Structures are given as C-alpha cells and as structure tokens.
Amino acid sequence: MPENSTEVRAGVKKKACHAALLAGMLLYLTVFFAADAERCRVGLFLLIPDELLSAWMGGDPARIGILDRGFVLSLTAVILAVAAVIGRGALKAIGADQRLCRLEIVAFSLGTGLSLLSLGVFLVGLAGLLHHSMLLRVLLVAGLLLAFRQGVMRSEAWRDSRGCDIPPFRGSEGSRFSLARHGVWLAAPLLVFLFLGAMMPPWEFDVREYHLQVPKEWFLEGRIEFLPHNVYGNMPLAAEMPALLAMVLFRGGADWWWAALIGKTVMAAFAPLAALSLYTTGRRLVSPTAGIVAALLFLATPWGIYVSMTGLNEGVIAAYSILAFQALLLGCAPGDSESGARIRPGFAMLAGFLAGSAAACKYPALLFTVFPLFAGCLGLGGRQRWKSAALFLLAAGCVVGPWYAKNALMTGNPVYPLVFGGRTRTPERIEQWNRAHQVPRDDQGRRYHPAQLADSLALVGWNSRLTHPLLLPLALLAAWVGRRPVPLRGLLAALLWVFLVWWLATHRVDRFLVPVLSWVALLAGCGFVTFRRCVGRPAATALLLASLVYGAVYTIAPTTGLYDPRLLVSLTELRRDEPDEPGGPSRVSAAHRFLNDHLEPDQRVLLVGDAQPFDLEVPVLYNTCFDQCHFERLLRDRSGDQRREALQAEGISHVFIHWGELARYRSPGNYGYSDFVTRQLVWNELVKQQGLLRPVRLEIETHVGEMFQVVDE
C-alpha cells in the first residue's frame, strides 16, 4: 500500500505539472496575441484569399510577368552550385568531411563555399580587378567543369556517409514521428514565398542605402575602396559580395540592377541553409522531431523571413552562427561533449571559419558569435583546449581579418567607424554616431533601470512585432528541463551572454537579436519534444501547426507591410515602377524617375537628405547623415559665382532636397543632420538672390522634396 500510495502521489504530481505547463502556455499565448491587435486580424486573409492574390498581381492580372524570375533563379543556382563545389573541396582539405551525414555535407559545403566565394570576390575587388570579369568567369567555368567531372554525389565521403541514420549524441525517440518524416512539406510554401520576395527589387531603407548600393558603387568604380560619403559602406560586407560577384560575371547594359537581385536572392538562400543545419543539429542532439520543429519555427518566424527576403544580412549571420555551433558540436566524438576530451582540429577550424564568416558580415557578430563559440572551444577542448582555441581563432581571422585589415589601411581604424574613429571622423561626427547608437535613456535619464529591463524582456518575449508565438516558451522549456545535453547548456549560456551584451551595450533594437534566432529555434525544437511528452502528441501537434499557419499568414499578409506584395508583377515593370494612377503604389520615387529620364550621361545629381540612391541610373553625389554634407561642403561661405563653379566642378546639374528625410533626421531623439540646409537658404538666397538654382516641378508635395536645376549663367 505505501508503495502504491507513493506511485499515485507521483502520478498526481506529474499530471498537475503537465496541466500547469499547458495552462502556462495558454496564458503566454493570451498575452502574446493581446499585445498586438494586428496578430489577430491577419487571420482574415485565410477567408479572403482573392484579396491576397490581387495584391500579388498588382491589382491587375494583365500585370503578371514571372518569367523574368527564371533569369534570376538560374544564375542564383549557378552561384550556389559553384559555392558548394568550392566548399566541398575545403571540407576535404581540412579533414572536416568525415562522420557527416549527407545533409550535413551539403550544409557545410554550401556555407563554407559561399564564404570562400565572398572572400575571393573581396580580394579581387581590393586588387582593383572588378572590371576584368574574364578572370572570375574563367574560375567559374573551371569550377563547373570540376563539378561535372568529379561530382559531389560521387565523392568517397558522400558514398560512405550513412544519410540520416547516424545515431544522435543523446537518446532518440525510438520511433519515426510523421512530423519528422513530412515536416519538410510544411516548409515548402514558406520557401516559395521567401524566394518570390527575395527576387523583388529592394525597398527597405538600409538595403537601398548600403547593402546593395555599396556593391553597385564598387562595381562602377572597378575596385573596393573607401567610401567617405557612406559610413556604412566601410563596415564588413561579406554577405553582400555575391551581389558584386553577379555584377562582375553577368555584365550587360544594366547589369548591376539585375545582378543585385541575384545577390539578394543568394542572401535569401541562407534561410533554408540555416533550416537544414537546424534539422541535422536537432536530430543529433535530441531527435528528428526536434530538428524538424526547430527548422520550421525558424522559417515561420516573421523576423527570419523578413530579413532574408528584404536583403538585410542578419539572416546570413544566423545561418553562419548555427553552422559554426554545429561544427563545434560535431568536433566532439560521441561522449566527448560530456568528458571534454578534445575537439578534432578540422572541426575546430571549420567552426572558427564559419564564426569568422558571421563576423565578416557585421561587427556585432564578434561578440554574439565568435566570442561565445571561442569560449565553447575552451570548455570542450579538454587538455588540448588551447590548441583547439588557437585553431578556431586562426580560421576566424583568415576570413574576417582581411576586412579589418582593409579598414585599418584605408581609414586608420580596423573597426571603422566604431570606438577609434578614423578617416573623416571628426569629433562632432563621432559624437553624433555615439549619440545615435548609445544605450537609450528613459524619461528620467536612466539607462539601466529594472523597469527598462522589464520592457526589454517583454520586447524579446512577446512585444516584438515579428516574433513567433511558440519560440520563447518552447526555448524556455528546453532551458527548464533538468536533463539536457551539455551542448544545450552551453547554448543557453551563450544566449544569456548575447542578451546581456545587447541590453548593456547597444541601443536595444530587437532586429539586432535576429542573428541568434537560429540558436533560439534549436532550443525551441528541443523544448517541443518535452512539451509533446507532457501534454500529449495530438495537442502539441495541433498547437504547433496552428502557430506555423499563424507565422506564415502574418508574414504574407500585405497589411503588415513586411514586403512589397506585387510578387507576380514583371520585374522589368517594377524597375521603373511608375504608378498607373496618382498616389498608387510605388517603390521608386517620382524624383528618381525624373532623374533617370532627363539627365544626360555627363550630368550628375546632388542628393541632400536622400541616402537611398540605389535605383538611380545616373551619376550621383550623396552622403548619409553621419558623413560630411556635400551640399554644405560645396556652398558654405562662398559667393554665388564660387558656388556655381564648385557645383560645375563636380558636374552637378540638378539638386534634389528631401525635406521629409531632413525633418526626420532632425526630429528629437533621431540621428541629426547639418543645420546648414534650410528652406530660407535655398529659396531666398540660392534661387531668388543668386539665381543659382531653378525649381523643377515634380509630382510630389513640396514639403516632402524639391528638385532644382543648376543654372549655368
């Protein structure tokens, strides 16, 4: 009787814990959906799919023209195939192709190859050989011939690999669950949408300002060089190198525009690459279900889809981060992660190279990816920890070092424009940059207050507009479970470190955490296995599927403004993007269309306040708000004749002033802008008194922007 009584009490306690877990999940979901009314309204698009289809067609079936996507997709596939061949050879060279399943070989080959390809383009650009496209074309053809002759499919490691039947590091579920077998089909619609969005012309501010604009400028100049007018263009931009590669390889009358779309699509390919890595990592750590759920949650999280299809580089960093973690994990033989015996040298180098690849895309990855994984090398390396750590750092330095060396030589600051300033960085501009990127203060001037911490936790937990409803609770469940693999404990510590750095040293923008979204998704996939065991397979599966549908619908709903919805409209039409009627949807501004139509090849436009010149097909002079204002440089403290001579010396025929952007920059708490540019100066002095500028009528409101033509004499 006592034993039976103990078993009954244990059973009751277990059921109570499971009920509390389910109740806690439902409470969290209530808070999640109550935080943003838009999350509930997007479900209406399931009832009116014709509205969604109409938006994709641009409101008119006659505008459908998707055949031109074939050009972008085919050349994207060529770049990815060549990268995979290069990466496969690199894996074999360092001995990191052993004991891998076929999917792991594909993932590491593609990730490593894309990084090597980007590094090669960067070095060619530094040498000033971007106009010698034959060099890169010969290398491309040689890579394709090598792939045809040898073939990755026929490689010895591929034949000897055991597919997905390699036992996981920790115990398996013992049976194949249908979600693990067929979950890939749930991802298919999201991937189709992802690539349709990725092939769209860029509309996001940062992408049009520097992610694609800077490769365009380097291509037109024929070399990678310092850009004194675009502070962002002097940061590491490895993720953007495929766009530059495409511009060099596929030259034509308007090569840079189409090539930019190819590069943007290559960047989007890192999302399924991250999902593949998540699946294979989760499968080894816990079970196939953990892996497929981690991959699905990553793809169904609006943040992941948004950054991938808009051309931002956080998705690329997220892919490199999970690949680097996976390489470190695979470097330990089964059981080594418990004993800390050693990390095989090839995998220590692979992990370092992939972590360095993340840092070659953006500075924060040094702290968010390289540092925690370096600490992992020390923790898992046993008596050879320093050897493993040295190999890790050496490999990381090989891929990220050239970017920092380039900055050191060209600007005097390896991490330009951070910390040490550098070329063109006056004390005033350094202060402006630091003020814009400092830890935010509350109304009472405090930066580190418990109320601010609570707000940040809420932002990460449920208030972030583009998060997923199951991501945080399932990740926390993986953290809460007592018996968890050692690598997951290390991943939890790494995520805690990332959050502390983000909260203590950055301006706490939630997008800055997207690079570790893949790590959170891995924890969530592992947490789902525990959740399913507690509440039962039917309830857990139903909740997961409902959340995946929500994530997909929220992402594709045109009302959320996450993408340009005209997915089926011809790219050729979208390039010019002239509205059919006044006030219609437009990606390219009326000012930029006017300039493309009316400027001669020897004429140049000066943009003031406008730092998105990507769609301009004419020579342009511009600056970001953090750089010297060209308008002020050319006109301050000069007479009318001197001003005319200065503009003519620069070839300036037109000046476009974006008053709307200037007002935004000068608004309280924003970045700031030179106070030299005023309406009084422009109209009273330059137009009326000196007759230097002549107004040009545009189909936009004058409070938004005004175009002027420079009067010769």
**What secondary structure does DSSP assign to 453-481, as a single string?**
HHHHHHIIIIISTT--TTHHHHHHHHHH-
Assigned CATH for 582-710: 3.40.50
> What is d(CA 246, CA 350) in angstroms, rounded to the nearest whole number?
26
pLDDT score, position 484: 63
Residue 377 near residue 386 (C-beta atoms within 8 A): no
Residue 316 near residue 206 (C-beta atoms within 8 A): no
Q: Which amino acid, 455?
A: D
Q: Which amino acid, 457?
A: L
What is the SS3 assignment for 332?
coil
Place of tokens 């690459």: 273
> What is d(CA 137, CA 584) in angstroms, rounded to the nearest whole number?
42
> What is d(CA 294, CA 285) in angstroms, rounded to the nearest whole number?
12
- Element at 291 (helix H, strand E): helix 288-300
In this structure, how many other beta carbons lie within 10 angstroms of the beta carbon of residue 617?
15
pLDDT score, position 80: 94
Q: What is the mean pLDDT of each run of 10 residues along the chain (713 residues)?
A: 60 74 90 88 73 86 89 93 89 86 93 95 92 74 60 49 46 49 82 95 96 96 95 96 92 77 97 96 91 95 95 97 95 54 87 97 96 90 81 96 96 92 91 91 89 94 93 90 72 94 93 96 94 89 92 88 91 86 76 94 95 95 96 95 95 96 93 95 95 92 94 84
Residue of 426, 519, 510, 507 lying closest to 479 (CA atoms): 519
> What is d(CA 234, CA 173) in angstroms, rounded to the nearest whole number?
49
- Mind listing the pLDDT tens digit for each residue in 183-207? 778 889 999 999 999 999 999 999 9
Residue of 262, 306, 192 lying closest to 568 (CA atoms): 192
Q: Is the pTM of this model over 0.85?
A: yes
Residue 446 Rama label (left phi>0; alpha psi -120 to 50; beta): beta
Residues 402, 405, 410, 411, CA torsion sign: positive
Give pairs for 660-664: CB < 8 Å, separation 24+: 660/609, 660/703, 660/704, 660/705, 661/609, 661/610, 661/611, 662/608, 662/609
Domain chopping of the chain, boundaries = 68-415+423-560, 582-710
Residue 314 near residue 240 (C-beta atoms within 8 A): no
Strand pairing of 693-696 and 706-710? antiparallel
> What is d(CA 683, CA 691) in angstroms, rounded to the nearest whole number?
10
Residue of 280, 287, 276, 246 lying closest to 263 (CA atoms): 246
Length of the chain (residues)? 713
User: Which distant-in-sequence residues (6+ apart) come within 8 Å of 667 by Cβ?
Assistant: none
pLDDT score, position 339: 46
Mutual angle of helices 345-359 and 385-411, in 10-degree steps: 30
Residue of 417, 424, 427, 434 lying closest to 628 (CA atoms): 424
